[in-house]
Chains A and B, each alone.
Chain A
Amino acid sequence: MILCLVEPGELSQEALTFARRLGPVKAFSVAAGEAYAPGAWAAAIVQLVERDSPSAVVAAASDRGSEVLAHVASRLDLPLAANCVSADAGNPMTVVRQRWGGSLLEEATLAGPVKLLTVAPHALPAEAGDEEVETFTPELTEDDLRVRVVRREEPAAGAISLGDARVVVGGGRGVGSADGFAVLQQLADALGGAVGGSRVVTNLGWRPHADQIGQTGLRIGPDLYIACGISGAIQHWVGCKGAKKILAINKDKNAPIVQRADYAVIGDLHEIVPAIVAALLGSAR
Chain B
Amino acid sequence: MKILVCVKRVPETGARISLTPDAQAVDDTYLGHAISPHEECAVEEALRLAAAHGGSTTVLTLGPPAAAEQLRNALAMGIDAAVLLETDGSDWEPQATAAAIADAVRDGGYNLLLFGNESADSGGYQVGIRVAYTLGLPVMTGAKGIEVANGVATVRREAGGGWEILEAALPAVITVREGINLPRYPSLPGRLKAKKAEVVTSAPEARPGGLRKVRLSVPQEASTPVVVLGEGAAAAPRVVEVLRAAGIT
Contacts and interface: CB of A to CB of B under 8 A. Distances in A.
Interface of A: 36, 38, 61, 63, 66-67, 70-71, 73-75, 77-83, 92, 94, 98-112, 118, 146-155, 159, 161-164, 166-167, 191, 202-203, 205, 208-210, 212, 215-217, 223-224, 232-234, 241, 245, 247-248, 253, 256, 258-268, 271-272, 274-276, 278-280, 283-284
7 contacts: A70-B126, A109-B214, A152-B165, A203-B182, A210-B158, A260-B221, A260-B226
Nearest to B211: A79
A264 to B, nearest CB: 5
B149 interface: no
Contact of A275 (B209, B212, B233): B233
Nearest to A61: B125
B93 interface: yes
Nearest to A118: B125
Question: Interface extent on B, as a size class?
Answer: 35 or more
A96 B138 CA distance: 31
Given A210-B158, A267-B233, A105 B217 contact: yes
A148 B138 CA distance: 10
A215 B177 CA distance: 11
Interface stretch (B46-54, B64-72, B236-244): B236-244
B31 interface: no
- Classify the secondary structure of A's interface with B: mixed
Task: Indicate the member of B16, B218, B232 with the most A CB atoms within 10 Å.
Answer: B232
A82 B94 CA distance: 11
B15 interface: yes
A66 B157 CA distance: 14
Contacts of A67: 125, 129, 141-142
B227 A262 contact: yes
A71 B37 contact: no
A253 to B, nearest CB: 7
Contacts of A102: 219
A215 B120 contact: yes
Name the 6 nearest CB pairs between A and B, nearest first. Answer: A209-B179, A79-B210, A161-B161, A155-B161, A275-B233, A74-B133
Interface in B167-188: 167-168, 177-179, 182
A79 B226 contact: no
Contacts of B214: 94, 106-109
B206 interface: no
Given A70-B130, A105-B216, A264 B226 contact: yes
B233 A271 contact: yes
B244 to A, nearest CB: 8
A149 B166 contact: yes
Contacts of B132: 74
B228 A253 contact: yes
Interface of B: 13-17, 19, 26, 37-38, 93-95, 118, 120-126, 129-130, 132-134, 138-142, 144, 157-168, 177-179, 182, 209-219, 221, 223-224, 226-237, 239-240, 242-244, 246-249
Contacts of A268: 232
Given A79-B93, A100-B17, A212-B179, 16 more contacts: A66-B125, A67-B142, A71-B129, A100-B26, A146-B138, A151-B165, A167-B248, A191-B248, A210-B179, A234-B13, A234-B16, A260-B221, A262-B227, A263-B227, A265-B230, A268-B232
A216 B165 contact: no
A221 B68 CA distance: 39
B94 A163 contact: no
Nearest to B164: A149
Given A105-B217, A233-B14, A262 B224 contact: yes
A279 B234 CA distance: 10
Nearest to B183: A203
Nearest to A194: B161
A100 B210 contact: no
A110 B126 CA distance: 15
A163 B125 contact: no
Contacts of A73: 126, 129-130
Contact of B164 (A108, A152, A224): A152
